[in-house]
Amino acid sequence: MSAAAPHRETNAAVAGHAADFPILGRQIHGRRLVYLDNGATTQKPEAVIQAEARYYRESNANIHRGVHWLSQHSTDLYDRSRERVRGFLNARHAAEIVFTRGTTEAINLVAASWGRNQLKAGDEILLSGMEHHSNIVPWQLVAEQTGAVIRVVPVTDDGELDMRAFEGLLNERTRFVGVCHVSNALGTVNPVADIVRMAHAVGAVVLIDGAQAVAHQAVDVQALGCDFYAFSGHKLYGPTGIGALYGRKELLDAMPPWQGGGDMIHTVSFERSTYAETPQKFEAGTPNIAGTIALDAAIAYVQGVGLDYIARHEGELVRYATEILAQIPGLRFIGQARERAGIVSFVVEGIHPHDLGTILDMEGVAIRAGHHCAMPLMTRFGLPGTARASFALYNTKEDVDALAAGLRKARRLFGMEHEA
């Protein structure tokens, strides 16, 4: 009884939240949708869907343009979202929040604007060995153009960053450190506050890729002390095509624009243009207004549920999944970091992750199978890919049970397990 009680209590709490997400009511291949691909993108609550629809029904007008009421109204909603993101990350100023298409564009902004102008031949860019391609390729482009050199912090067998190696790699040529807060492939939570402190000691600028972190734990950029922090709305229960870059104001003010156009200028003549202040300087053209306003609703939703609750709940699911999946013969976890958030990555001996993905899909269970856009990390573990279950606030222990049942079915189909 004592073991069963908290189980019921947790599920009762989540059943309430799952009801906020219309898509979770649908069936896939005749089965209840068990959505465990939240690391790729989360589902959207009704509040977010409504916010986007309401904007188009009631508030649509271009921002920073007209003197008419609707334009001012949509500008106010847009600015309110920036203030929401500021509070969410605990940035000092709303001007330190630049809206982007997502994490990828945010990192490209820093690479193009800061990187190309600040880095020179021989400078070192230090990246972790567990970065997503979006925090590797933009720096390779910058390295090609500037002659800067990319160095890589190795990953241990447990899927943690080798902090001793990191310390050894830092030197007076290290100008930039790029690291994910949470690994999208392994779920490892990196000690980013320590990384920032150590990198700053040699004068390096630090960017944290927060794409996999912000939906799972509270983030305070002032406490972390980082120079840049990037995240995507769609992994935070918000729409696709909207994300944000936090940058320390002194850095953003000193950086040149990276895209030119309307909204980012002060005055334009054919002889010379002057640019708007931070953050408008980095937001050329009509932005994703509806997405920005729906992001405000997404963050409000997450704050309403509470990140402390979400972190606790998902931590419980990871622990439960680790316990249940460990009982499946031939299953091996990839990444056993002491600090993990929201993700369980694994392989099953004799069954390729892609086959697992198809078999689970027929059970209504959606997972990610593949290299997770982290090919160097897969190479590090000698794997073509893994199967990844990633959790959100609406997942339940029943979802984990469905995953485990699907994996046993895959083993039976492949002739490895014979019990019913």
Partner 1 sequence: MTGQFGDLRELYQEVIFDHNRRPRNFGPLDAATHQADGHNPLCGDQLTVYARVTDGVVDEVSFIGHGCAISTASASLMTEAVKGMPVDEVEGLFRDMHAMLTESHPDRDLGKLEVLSGVREFPARVKCATLAWHTLHNAITQARETAKTE
Closer Cβ to partner 1, 65 or 409, answer by number: 409
Task: State which of residues 359, 392, 402, 403 lies at the interface with partner 1 (CB under 8 A).
Answer: 359
Helix axes 289-305, 46-54, angle to 10 degrees: 150
Task: State which of residues 369, 374, 389, 392 lies at the interface with partner 1 (CB under 8 A).
Answer: 369
Residues 23-52 that bind partner 1 (CB under 8 A): 29
Nearest CA to 291 among 159, 420, 100, 163? Answer: 100
Per DSSP, the three-state class of 142 is helix
Query: What is the nearest approach in angstroms of partner 1 to the Cβ of residue 22?
Result: 24
Select from 5-13, 146-154, 230-238, 352-360 the region that touches partner 1 (CB under 8 A). 352-360
Query: What is the nearest approach in angstroms of partner 1 to the Cβ of residue 142?
Result: 23
Task: State which of residues 191, 315, 370, 376 lies at the interface with partner 1 (CB under 8 A).
Answer: 370
Query: What is the nearest approach in angstroms of partner 1 to the Cβ of residue 166?
Result: 28
Nearest CA to 37 among 393, 365, 312, 402? Answer: 365
Task: State which of residues 50, 64, 409, 417 lies at the interface with partner 1 (CB under 8 A).
Answer: 409
Task: State which of residues 132, 340, 371, 388 lies at the interface with partner 1 (CB under 8 A).
Answer: 371
Q: What does residue 188 show for φ and ψ, rounded to 5 degrees?
A: -60, 130
Under rule CB under 8 A, residue 329 binds partner 1:
no
Round to the nearest angstrom and report the end-to-end CA distance of the chain: 28
Q: What separation in angstroms does the CA of 95 have from each of 102, 253, 298, 412?
A: 18, 10, 20, 56
Q: What does residue 332 show for φ and ψ, rounded to 5 degrees?
A: -130, 130
Under rule CB under 8 A, residue 353 binds partner 1:
yes
Residues 377-396 that bind partner 1 (CB under 8 A): 378, 384-385
Question: CA-CA distance, 356 to 408, in Å (whole number)?
Answer: 10
Q: Residue 288 is which amino acid?
A: N
Q: Respond yes or no: is residue 226 known to be catalytic.
A: no
- What does the chain come to in residues? 420
Tell me the catalytic residues. 373
Site of interaction with partner 1 (CB under 8 A):
29, 351-355, 357-359, 362, 369-371, 375, 378, 384-385, 409, 412-415
